[in-house]
Amino acid sequence: MEPETPLNLNLKRWPGMEYKQQWLDTEKPIIPQIQRLGLKDYKTWIGSSRTYPAFRLFDSDFLEAMTHSEWWWPAGVYGCFSLLLLPQLGPYWPAYIALGWVIWWFLEYSIHRWLFHMQPRSQRMLSLHFVFHGLHHKSPTDRTRLVINPFLSLLVAAPLVFCAYNLFPTGWQAMTIGGMVSYVSYESCHFWIHHSRQDSRIRELLDLSGLRGRHFSHHFQDSKKNFTISPNPLDIIFRTASQ
């Protein structure tokens, strides 16, 4: 198997790297290899995006399967949950739906900016960071790794619904619906930004809205800008939108 070449690693960004570390073989599971990179090398490596066939991450077939998801599952699963909650809406439900929607905006921005783009501080953190977000920057066209695995998503959603249930006993159903619809819009936008057909109406709308251009700017120009993906004003509010 031919390992990555200096061209793959875009060494213009950091000359001399070819002498400092052994290449990662992208045709073998990546996670057992990732700690060969130092922290500085890792940042450079994931910053050199390429159009790869899907990486295999783990030796374990079960763990590997947990890293793949189809784009349509959030709409299917959370859409069904929303329909089940509709008959239970209480007073002031439009306000609670809006509140749930806005809460997801803050989660989307905060998770992307401060969790996904935190700097790994140890070799052990490299693997975790790569699984959760580094992989997407390294291989942004990986079709089945744009949407979080449904089991992990539900593990995150459950405590949020529990908090809403306890804090807003008459409005948690509407808040949950608002949050789920906002989350589905985020995951759907992200998938179609990367995988809409060139001549499709979806591509045209994403281009006209600026969503696609801003997200690609985040990937290929400045990863410290444009953290929102769905129609979300927080990049403007927090001054992280590109000019």
pTM reported for the whole predicted model: 0.86
Residue 214 lies in a domain: yes
Burial level of 217, CB count in 10 A (0-12/13-18/19+)? middle
Nearest to 177, CA basis, from 84, 51, 113, 60: 84
In the prediction, which pLDDT does 51 show? 64
Residue 109 is part of which domain span? 69-237
Identify whether the C-beta of residue 58 lies closer than 8 Å to the C-beta of residue 66: no
Residues 93, 99: Cα–Cα separation, whole Å: 10
Residue 149 lies in a domain: yes
Residue 63 lies in a domain: no
In the prediction, which pLDDT does 10 show? 37
Question: Structural domain tally of the chain?
Answer: 1
Identify whether the C-beta of residue 183 lies closer than 8 Å to the C-beta of residue 104: yes
Residue 140 lies in a domain: yes
Residues 205, 202: Cα–Cα separation, whole Å: 5
Going by pLDDT thresholds of 50, 70 and 90, the confidence category of residue 188 is very high
Q: Average pLDDT of the chain?
A: 87
Query: Which residues neighbour 46 within 8 Å (Cβ) at sequence distance 6 or greater?
Result: 130, 134, 135, 137, 138
Is pLDDT at 206 greater than 50 in this prediction? Answer: yes
Residue 38 lies in a domain: no
Percent of the chain with pLDDT over 70: 88
In the prediction, which pLDDT does 52 show? 60
**Residues 75-95 pLDDT 10s:** 999 999 999 999 999 999 999
Residue 19 lies in a domain: no
Going by pLDDT thresholds of 50, 70 and 90, the confidence category of residue 1 is very low
For residues 237 and 27, the model is more confident at 237
Task: Determine which of 18-22, 59-63, 196-200, 209-213 has the lowest per-residue pLDDT on average.
Answer: 18-22
| Collapsed DSSP state (helix, strand, coil) of residue 156 | helix
Residue 12 lies in a domain: no
**Residues 108-159 pLDDT 10s:** 999 999 999 998 888 788 999 999 999 999 989 899 999 998 888 999 999 9
Residue 163 lies in a domain: yes
